[in-house]
Amino acid sequence: MTNLHKHVRKRALEALDLRRGKELLLLGAPTCDEKLVEKLTGIKVYGRSQKEKTKTIFDALDVDLLYQLGVNLDVVWSDRKPRLIEGFFDEFKEDFPFTDAFHVAYKNLRLRRTESASQLWVVERPFKNYEELVRYLKRYDPREDEPRSIGEIADEYRRVFQEYQELLGETTLCVGEFYLTLFTYLDIHIGLRMIARLARQDPDLLDELISKYAQVARKHVEAWSETGIKAFVSHDDVAWREGLFFPLEWYRRHVVQWWKHIWKPVKDKGIKLIYVSDGDYRSLMDDLIKIGVDGFHLEWDPRFSRKDVENLMEKYGGKKIFVLHPSYEVLSHGNISEVEEEARWFISLSRKYPSVFFAGTPPGNPVNEEVFLKTWFSERHCEN
């Protein structure tokens, strides 16, 4: 692969404005396998420090866009392995990579970590049944767990943004990400089952919790808006493979208005807003567009068919930014020719519509991953 990364950031900026470019767009590094990166690029990766490795991979792959959570830079650039422990969040802070609002979501929870997982698993919450949850919520206020000012939070995010942008230079445009926008916080802190019971039995109590946490999230989004980013990615898992966790009308009544409130700082500054969730959240897209979303990251886990993706692009393609993955079924179970054909279809889709980013292959089959990536990269810098 030839190194054509000079002024690559311009490609990302044009894509954020829905302008068509000649080259295929790449979000993040599509593989963490160092040997595969070396095979694709011919550039040595193995043996470098974490920081050098990041720079080398992003330069070698000509990565257009990186969206980045708030992180503890000392942990991210360290080669030390996290301790495998169980305990409370304060015990994990030393080697937990993310900042964001995890200290709010994980407060009062007993947690567990495994070496391969980036997030922490909830082992026990401070309530054992619904009655205890109701008593807990009546005295709980997440705003108390984020006493910092917007300026203080902005200083933290700015350090992260500037470090990554200076490291990746003209190769990659770095933008901000907030992981715990709203529903994901609820899922972590009280759990999906208890959210459902509150929604049925004590909707006012759930609404009060949502409104309180929305003020926490708004502080973080406003902080990101003050860092100089050109785009902002808001993560909020609201669905699984079969569709939304709750009926569409419930989100419209209880969540959508708060998303609009949370995202107002970035919208007021003209920062492009991209939404990402696991699962199939297609039924929410029109509502998200109405409140200002400029683009969507569709994860691989809904396992959309080719027709599903084509229908989405016929409706929204060229009007919204899209971040897409190839087919899970083909990449996991297809033969070589099927994988090559999937890559060619994905490339044709990316050339048909502006502002379509490739975000990597689904996990599971390293042979098929290599075939797809070789095909995609071989066509990346070719004109239509």
Read off the CATH number of the domain in which 327 is found.
Answer: 3.20.20.210
- 80's enclosing H/E stretch is none
Average pLDDT, the chain: 93
Q: Reduced to 3 states, what is the DSSP secondary structure of residue 324?
A: strand
Could you give the CA distance from residue 234 to residue 67 in angstroms, rounded to a whole number?
A: 10
pTM, two decimals, is: 0.95
> How many domains are contained in the chain?
1
210 domain-assigned: yes
Q: Is 127 among the domain residues?
A: no
Report the Cα 341 to chain-centroid distance in Å. Answer: 27
Give a yes or no: residue 358 inside a domain: yes
* Predicted pLDDT of residue 384: 61
For residue 191, what are the contacts with CB-CB under 8 A and spacing of at least 6?
A: 122, 125
Token pair for residue 246? 């709750």
Mean pLDDT of 154-171: 95
pLDDT of residue 7: 56
Q: Confidence class of residue 207 from pLDDT cuts 50, 70 and 90?
A: very high
Give strand ranges (E) for 160-240: 173-178, 231-235, 239-240
pLDDT band at 26 (very low <50, low <70, confident <90, very high): very high
CA-nearest of 255, 254, 260, 175 to 218 is: 260
Nearest alpha carbon to residue 277 among 233, 237, 322: 237
Q: Measure the CA angle with vertex 116, ends 112 and 119; round to 5°.
A: 50
Provide, rounded to the nearest whole percent, the portion of the chain with pLDDT above 90.
84
In a domain, 276, yes or no: yes
User: DSSP secondary-structure letter at 355?
Assistant: S
Q: Which domain holds residue 41?
A: 9-70+150-379
Least confident of 153-157, 324-328, 353-357, 361-365: 361-365
Other Cβ atoms within 10 Å of 160 Cβ, number: 20
Q: What is the mean pLDDT of residues 10-18?
A: 94
Whether 6 shows a pLDDT value over 60: the answer reads: no
Residues 6+ apart with CB under 8 A from 29: 37, 57, 58, 61, 63, 360
Least Cα distance to 212 among 253, 258, 176 occurs for 258
In a domain, 299, yes or no: yes
Q: What is the pLDDT of residue 82?
A: 78
> Could you tell me if residue 304 is inside a domain?
yes
Inside any domain, residue 91: no
Q: Specify burial of residue 139 (Cβ count, 10 A radius: 0-12, 13-18, 19+).
A: exposed
- Residue 205 maps to a domain: yes
